[in-house]
Amino acid sequence: MTQIEYALENKTTEEMKTVAKEENIDINVLRSKIAEGQIVIPANINHKNLNAIGIGKDLTIKVNANIGTSQSKSDLDNELLKLKTAVEAGADTMMDLSTSNDVEDIRNRIIENCTVPIGTVPIYQTLIEAGSVENLNIDAYLEVFEKHAKSGVDFATVHAGLTRAIFPLIKKRLMKCVSRGGSFLLAWMKYYQKENFLYENYDKILEIAKKYDVTISLGDGMRPGCIADATDEAQIHELKILGELAERTRQKGVQVMIEGPGHIPLNEIEKNMELEKKYCNNSPFYVLGPLPTDIATGYDHIACAIGGALAASKGADFLCYVTPKEHIGLPDIDDVREGVVVTKIAAHIADIAKGNKQAISRDNKMAHAREEINWQEMSECAIDKKKFLELRRQECEKNPDLKKADYCSMCGPFCVFKIYDEKES
Ligand code: SF4
């Protein structure tokens, strides 16, 4: 049985207990939200070393980090190091987006070493094995999907909402399609003049997902790739279909979340969150950004955190990280770490805005530690403890007097906490 089926029967799983404890949420409330489809716990029955997490309504905002090889760069050890780095930096989930020829081996090794939920996009491997878009077909896809499910993949992106009706709507776009999986399917539909085989055979995909409790992450092939295309007809048309598919998914006893934009100007982010909740019956929303500008290249992770913080404070449940290498190349280990930390900051800002008591309490502890100039306590509260300690070490190395001083090099003896101390007055 899947987590949603247990919830519908009012049964509590070990994974639900873990999530309730971690999030400090009543188990009955958690279970009813899973039953309603507002929360998912991606937990494949074959992912043995998994620490379960929940994604959705009233839970803390989660952060995903993408890793994986490309046809230009393939190094398993390096990908395993990225995995370790991302999880240590606080990634709540990982996606393996490998597209080199040894994807099968890479995925299995990543899952073996991954204690957080792992996601994949099975259409990538299907295309690699098929050799070309024209050779794609549903049987090849189902075979790959089952391999992923059997190996322990907890959530899988399925671009089933992209239908032939999209073609006239794409014509109006500045950038037609920026989703890799989406582009494969558009090319296939155009070549054969047939309907998307993932849409037509969606129930067959659900049968496999149900067998292993794979959470379906309904992919947004029409996510805008530039702010000029944001919230356009193509995007909303697909979103409505994703809402229908999400309902079918839950009825089959399979957990589901919705993937979302993309590039969205700041003033349209709230509206996008509302539309997803409206058309997809409050399904958890997994956003790939949003990037509120197209020109922050080299700093896209920062642009993404600005958009992500607003999106998550207005309804998004799950943020996919962006690294400084976005739109430039495959991220290296430092990029992965930077991307995770910056997106964790966005998630935490949103948790505060939503009134999460644990998040607010951590900030209050930091404020106390700062007032007391307690460096150790400050490091414990910081999102990136490692960077905090390193910067402090560098400061003390330059000026050893600072090690014992009750101020830092910013204001020196004019430290406000020394000049005005209520305890002494
Ligand atoms: S010296 Fe200035 S920056 Fe440093 S702890 Fe005191 S008030 Fe803060």
pLDDT tens, residue by residue, 83-134? 999 999 999 999 999 998 789 999 999 999 999 999 999 999 999 999 999 9
Pairing of strands 318-320, 285-287: parallel
Query: Which of 396, 410, 414, 420 best tests ligand 1's pocket when mutated (most atoms within 8 Å of CB)?
Result: 410
The residue with greater pLDDT, 415 or 339, is 339
pLDDT value at residue 74: 80
CB of residue 416 inside a 6 A radius of ligand 1: yes
Average of per-residue pLDDT across 132-146 = 98
For ligand 1, say whether the CB of 192 is within 6 Å of any of its atoms: no
What are 187-214's pLDDT values in tens digits? 999 999 999 999 999 999 999 999 999 9
Which residue, judged by its Cα, is nearest atom 6 of ligand 1? 415
Rounded distance, CA 72 to CA 153, Å? 25
d(CA 136, CA 142): 11
Please list the residue range(s) of the chain that carry CATH number 3.20.20.540: 3-352
Query: What tokens were used for 68?
Result: 């994986």
Backbone Cα Rg of the chain: 23
Judged against a pLDDT cut of 90, whether residue 72 lies above it is answered with: no
Take atom 3 of ligand 1 and give the residue whose Cα is closest: 410
Positive or negative, the Cα torsion across 2, 217, 152, 82? negative
Is 397's pLDDT higher than 90? yes
Is 166 within 8 Å of 130 (Cβ atoms)? no
pLDDT of residue 423: 64
Question: Measured between alpha carbons, how far is 256 from 213 in angstroms, rounded to an integer?
Answer: 11
Structure confidence by residue, pLDDT tens digits, 212-266: 999 999 999 999 999 999 999 999 999 999 999 999 999 999 999 999 999 999 9
DSSP-assigned beta bridge partners for residue 291: 263
> Rounded to 5 degrees, what are φ and ψ at 287?
-100, 140
Decide if pLDDT at 60 tops 80: yes
Locus of tokens 């190996």: 151
For the CA of 373, the closest atom of ligand 1 is 5
How far apart are the CA of 353 and the centre of ligand 1, in A? 26
Report the residue among 378, 379, 388, 417 best suited for mutation to probe ligand 1: largest number of ligand atoms under 8 A from its CB: 417
pLDDT at 27 over 70: yes
Which of 3.20.20.540, 3.40.50.300, 3.90.550.10, 3.90.1150.10 is the CATH number of 3-352? 3.20.20.540
Q: Decide whether any atom of ligand 1 lies within 6 Å of the 389 Cβ.
A: no
Strand stretches in 139-245, DSSP E: 155-158, 215-218
Decide if pLDDT at 146 tops 60: yes
Do the bridges between strand 39-40 and strand 55-56 make them parallel or antiparallel, or are there none, so unpaired? antiparallel
User: Ligand 1: which of 391, 411, 414, 420 to mutate, judged by most atoms within 8 Å of the beta carbon?
Assistant: 411
Residue closest via CA to ligand 1's atom 4 equals 408
Is residue 181 left, alpha or beta, with left meaning phi > 0 and alpha meaning psi from -120 to 50?
A: alpha
Reduced to 3 states, what is the DSSP secondary structure of residue 39? strand
> Angle 67-68-71 (CA atoms, 0-180°, nearest 5)?
145
341 CA to middle of ligand 1, Å? 24
Helix ranges restricted to H, 201-320:
202-212, 233-251, 266-279, 300-313
Alpha-carbon separation of residue 179 from 174, 183, 185, 412, 415 (angstroms): 14, 6, 10, 52, 51
Query: pLDDT at position 100, please?
Result: 85
Predicted pLDDT of residue 404: 86
214, 153 contact by CB (below 8 A) = yes
SS3 state of residue 96: strand
pLDDT score for 424: 59
pLDDT for res 413? 86
- Percentage of the chain with pLDDT > 70? 99
Q: How far is the CA of 413 from the centre of ligand 1 (A)?
A: 9
Query: Is residue 289 predicted with pLDDT exceeding 90?
Result: no
Measured CA to CA in angstroms, residue 28 lies from 10, 12, 23, 225 at distances of 9, 9, 13, 40
Q: Indicate the top mutation candidate among 368, 372, 373 to test ligand 1's pocket, ranked by most ligand atoms within 8 A of CB.
A: 373
- Mean per-residue pLDDT for 155-161? 98
Q: Give Cβ neighbours of residue 235 (< 8 Å, ≥ 6 apart).
A: 220, 222, 223, 224, 229, 261, 262
Task: Give the pLDDT mean for 35-58.
Answer: 97
User: Which pLDDT does position 297 carry in this prediction?
Assistant: 97
In this structure, the residue with its CA closest to atom 8 of ligand 1 is 415
| Mean pLDDT calculated for residue range 290-300 | 98
- Please give the distance, rounded to the nearest whole angstrom, from the Cα atom of residue 422 to the centre of ligand 1: 16
Max Cα-Cα span within the chain: 82
CB of 295 within 6 A of ligand 1: the answer is no
Distance between CA 416 and CA 425 in Å, rounded? 14
Closest CA to 118 of 152, 159, 70, 69: 152
Would you place residue 75 in the very low, low, confident or very high pLDDT band (cuts 50, 70, 90)? confident
Range of weakest confidence among 152-161, 302-311, 403-412: 403-412
Q: Judge whether residue 425 has pLDDT over 60.
A: no
Instruction: Decide: 367 in ligand 1 pocket, CB within 6 A.
Output: no
pLDDT at 101: 74
- 110 vs 10, 119, 215, CA distance in Å? 34, 11, 18
How far, in Å, is the centroid of ligand 1 from the Cα of 424? Answer: 18
Q: What percent of the chain has pLDDT over 90?
A: 91
- Helix axis angle, 138-151 to 103-112, nearest 10°: 30
Q: Please tell me the distance between residue 334's alpha carbon and the centre of ligand 1 in angstroms.
A: 29
Name 117's Cβ contacts closer than 8 Å, sequence gap at least 6: 42, 43, 47, 50, 52, 53, 92, 93, 94, 154, 155
Structure tokens at 231: 């919230």
Cis status of the peptide bond prior to 262, with omega within 30 of 0: yes
80 — pLDDT class (breaks 50, 70, 90): very high
Q: What is the mean pLDDT of the chain?
A: 96
